Amino acid sequence: MRVKDKHKILKTVDKLVEYNETLKKFSSSSKYLFDKILRECNKLVDEIDISDCSVEEHEALGEYKKLINSPEYDADLIKKALDVFFQQIQEEKETYRVLFLPYKYSMWDSFESIFEAAKEDENCETYVMPIPYYDKDQEGNLTEIHDESGSYPDDIGIISWQDNQVDEIDPDVIFIHNPYDGNNLVTSIHPKYYTDKLVCKDRVVIYVPYYVSYTDDEGISVFMGGAEYYTDYVIVQSEWYKEKFELEMLKHNILNNGNKFIVLGNPKYDKIRSLNKYEYPLKDDWKEKLFDESGNKKFTILLDTTLEILLKKREKMLDKIVDVIDFLEKRDDLALIWRPHPLIEPMLRDMCTELIPTYVKLVDCCKNLDNCIFDDTNNMHTAIVWSDAFMGKYGSMIELYRVAKKPTIMLEISEKTNFESDGIYDEEGLRAKVSDCQVIREKDYGLGNLIDFSMKYHRGEEEDEINPTDGKKIYDFAIKSAKLKME
């Protein structure tokens, strides 16, 4: 039985119990009030949705209605009939409807483990309805529409936004991962899916961010797209984010009861933890660069370049990339996957045209080296699963990579890189940090020492402690919240 139908029936029965006590008082003193309340009882019974009720529940409700309309009003018998019906409904299994509203398939990993938890719950009806989004012109007008419904695997079992309406589905929980509604300058989801149109008194709307961020450095800021103000809950990756979001609410003079921002991690972490090479086979051109002639895999470093760091450090950041590529070019036992942010070239054309020649030269150099891969694919997981260590500065990839329990190196941009290893470092201390998902820093050890350590490091083959995924925790929280809201 739908959880909202069950709660509605139980509330009605509570009301009928109250009316029974009142009718008992008026049965011999006021025929007018007695008949008036009796009519209300019959009306409430007729309004009960019995479509999902069992034969026994039909019979119990019928027995109640027969008793209240008999010539002799017996309050004790009526109370017993109500108790039987209440107990039968109380024992009904509660079923929930959960609706996911993704808009870009590349962001599905921020829902995936929640979806998996929902699918495993036999009491949950799960729906995935990818919604369309529009480009915007410079005046903010909606232009070309995009629908990525065709990108999803068949086993997800999506439904069409053109053939289904949210209110017809009548979900108990809605998950969204676009926080902007119409506030993004470049794109907008379809206006009928703006968050203020999704919220409802008998459903829970939860925003799960499509991103995670490394927050252990000063100067990291948060932004709110707008949907956070309307949703029932916002899932945040850490207490740090919760505090920042709550401060943003105060800045906008929006009341917050302290329970809107819930620290439960993010499904993107679950995706990284579960990565395996079998799901991401290498193409031949990658194999040629990551494996030697004997078929042995080279130690592979993943280099990330974010928009933020390139804008801040400019030539110094490009010099750092030159240093890394020059070093890797001389090492036959190492390989490099360079994965810069896909919007770097457009950003350079708009804001830093003087850097374009150097950047283009670096890209060409990387593509032409026998042990370097320039990764401009739309899937970062192949690079993550096939690499053995990470180098980068800020951004979401460094935050995700660390949970893979592989060496994750925070680069130092300002000084000349020292690739020499003196072997003087605390190997056990570094190993403990990596195993504890901590980022290790070039400025503390020198890059040469960290590369030397990374090549020696092997993640323990023993099984990790089995814990609920972030997605399972988020799903359980959502179901609990939906039930509480109905009560």
- Beta bridge mates, 372: 336
User: Which of 212-221, 283-292, 378-387 is predicted least confidently?
Assistant: 212-221
More confident residue, 48 or 132: 132
- Beta bridge mates, 136: 142
**Nearest-5° angle of CA 439, CA 442, CA 446?**
140
C-alpha 370/C-alpha 372 separation (Å) is 6
**DSSP label at residue 193:** G
Residues 6-46 pLDDT 10s: 999 999 999 999 999 888 888 777 888 888 999 999 999 98
Please report where in the chains the tokens 């060409």 appear, as a residue.
364
C-alpha 125/C-alpha 138 separation (Å) is 41
Structure tokens at 177: 């991962």
Residues 384-402 pLDDT 10s: 999 999 999 888 899 999 9
3-class DSSP state of 387: coil
CA 376 to chain centre: 24
3-class DSSP state of 162: coil
pLDDT at 219 over 80: no
C-alpha 475/C-alpha 194 separation (Å) is 22
**What's the average model confidence in pLDDT over 313-322?**
86
* Residue 441: Cβ within 10 Å count: 16
- What percent of the chain lies above the pLDDT cut of 70? 97
Residues 154-166 pLDDT 10s: 999 999 999 999 9
3-class DSSP state of 145: strand
Exposure string for 305-328, b = 16+ CB within 10 A, e = fewer: bbbebbeeebeebbebbebbbebb
**What's the average model confidence in pLDDT over 229-246?**
92
Structure tokens at 329: 């070019």
- Nearest one of 193, 194, 233, 236 to 213, comparing CA atoms: 236
Structure tokens at 74: 């017996």
Q: DSSP characters for 292-344?
A: -TTSPBPEEEEEEE-HHHHHHHTHHHHHHHHHHHHHHHT-TTEEEEEEE-TTH
**What's the average model confidence in pLDDT over 281-307?**
92
**DSSP label at residue 87:** H
pLDDT at 462 over 60: no
Beta strand segments in 29-123, E:
96-101
Q: DSSP characters for 195-227?
A: HHHH--TTSEEEE--S-----SSTT------SG
Contact status, residue 387 vs residue 302, Cβ threshold 8 Å: yes
